[in-house]
Amino acid sequence: MKKIVLASTSTLFGQEYLEYLLEELQSFFKGCSTITFIPYARPGGISHDAYTTMAATAFSKINKKVVGLHSFTDPLEGLAQAEGIFTGGGNTFLLVQQLHQLQLISPLKAKIESGTPYLGTSAGSNIAGPSMKTTNDMPIVYPPSFDTLGVVDFNLNPHYMDPDPNSQHKGETRETRIREFHIFNTTPVIGLREGNYILVNGDHKILKGEGTARIFEAGKKPYESKNIPF
């Protein structure tokens, strides 16, 4: 049975890394002594080692050890050994490029579908859907494919922001860009606001955190929901 947490962000304003999620993660990763961290998204160009240290510091508060997947000579073997998995945020293009280059997409998908608990934040959540096409990130590298894990049947738009009626900004809103996506694609999209996350247990999905999510379906008007309809 799939066990997945997909969070919009790792850090809320005024909090430490993963702080708002730790209570959930303590029960979510129950039975796991070590979490395998996938650091390839490298926010701000941070090194794999430094990023893994950030994750390790957070998980130490709930008595979990963290090992970076990059530290294994053979990342496929490191993934095979994983009791629980966390993919951090950063640049989705870079993350997906690395996962394809290291031939980790199919093994990671199989690992999650076999029941290994999986946490994603931001870019790490983007890759759970069928494609990365609704990311907010700049294409700093060129992955061989936009296809991702498909362990859920919807795409995410993490850090979703509502249009500000008082803003003088005249560029595209998130809603505009997702409408553009649906001109060429039919995959549903969930606009996930800061502080919200989706908990998946098998076929059951629930939105947690404050408020609602913005739901986009091709050919339909966007709507707000506390439930995940897919």
What pLDDT sits at residue 33? 98
Q: Is residue 221 part of a domain?
A: no
Q: Is residue 47 part of a domain?
A: yes
Q: Is 159 a catalytic residue?
A: yes
- Other CB atoms closer than 10 Å to residue 199's CB: what's the count? 18
What pLDDT sits at residue 60? 98
Q: What is the pLDDT of residues 184-197, one digit of tens each?
A: 999 999 999 999 99
Q: What is the pLDDT of residues 15-70, one digit of tens each?
A: 999 999 999 999 999 999 999 999 999 999 999 999 999 999 999 999 999 999 99
The enclosing domain of 117 has a CATH number of 3.40.50.880
What pLDDT sits at residue 56? 98
Mean pLDDT rounded to a whole number for the chain:
97
Q: Which of 10, 125, 131, 137 is catalytic?
A: 137
Please say if the pLDDT value at position 86 is more than 80: yes
Cross-sheet strand order for the sheet of 189-192: 155-158, 189-192, 213-216, 223-225
Give the number of domains in the chain. 1
Give Cα separations from 63 to 115, 152, 221, 223 (angstroms).
Answer: 21, 29, 45, 40
Please say if the pLDDT value at position 218 is more than 90: yes
Q: Report the SS3 class of residue 197.
A: strand
Q: Is residue 186 part of a domain?
A: no
What pLDDT sits at residue 51? 98
Helix, strand, coil percentages in the chain from 3-state DSSP, rounded to 5? 30, 20, 45
What pLDDT sits at residue 168? 77
Q: Which of 122, 125, 131, 182 is catalytic?
A: 122
Q: Can you give the residue range of the structural domain that contains 118? A: 3-173+193-212
Q: Is residue 92 part of a domain?
A: yes
Q: Report the SS3 class of residue 226.
A: coil
Q: Which residue stretches of the chain are H helix?
A: 22-28, 48-59, 75-80, 92-101, 105-113, 123-126, 174-184
Q: What is the pLDDT of residues 140-175, one digit of tens each?
A: 999 999 999 999 999 999 999 998 778 777 778 999
Q: Which of 48, 71, 100, 159 is catalytic?
A: 159
Q: Is residue 224 part of a domain?
A: no
Q: Is residue 225 part of a domain?
A: no
Q: Is 122 a catalytic residue?
A: yes
Percent of the chain with pLDDT over 70: 100
0.95 exceeded by pTM: yes
